[in-house]
Amino acid sequence: MASLLSKIEKSVVTPESLFKTEIKFEQPICTKTYCESLEKNTRFEPWQVDVSELKSISHLNYQGFYKDLVQLYNGERDVDFWIDHSPNNLAYSKKLNSVFDDCYFIHIVRDGRAVAQSQIPLEWGANTYLDAAKTWQNKILYGFITESLFPSRTIVVKYEDLLIDSEKQVQRLVAFLGNPLVKDEIEIDNDFLPEFTKKQHALVGKKPDKNRAYAWKGQLTQQNIADFQYYAKETLELLDYEIINNNCKVTKLHIAKEYIKELWVKKVLNPRIYKENRKYVTK
pLDDT digits (tens, 9 = 90+) for 6-50: 999 999 999 999 999 999 999 999 999 999 999 999 999 999 999
Which residue ranges in the chain fall short of pLDDT 50?
A: 196-197, 200-202, 280-283
Q: Give 72-101 pLDDT, tens digit per residue.
A: 999 978 999 999 999 999 999 999 999 999
What pLDDT, on the 0 to 100 scale, is given for residue 35?
98
DSSP structure class, residue 8: B
CA distances from 167 to 48, 108, 162, 199, 228 (A): 32, 16, 8, 26, 31
Distance CA 203, CA 201 (A): 5
What pLDDT, on the 0 to 100 scale, is given for residue 193?
57
CA distances from 137 to 133, 144, 156, 219, 266 (A): 6, 11, 15, 21, 19
Distance CA 231, CA 229 (A): 5
What pLDDT, on the 0 to 100 scale, is given for residue 204?
53
Radius of gyration of the chain (CA): 20
Q: Is 241 exposed, middle or buried (0-12, 13-18, 19+ CB in 10 A)?
A: buried
Distance CA 5, CA 81 (A): 10
What single letter denotes the amino acid at residue 12? V
Residues whose CB falls within 8 Å of the CB of residue 85, separated by 6 or more in sequence, listed in order:
1, 2, 13, 16
Rounded to two decimals, what is the model's pTM? 0.85
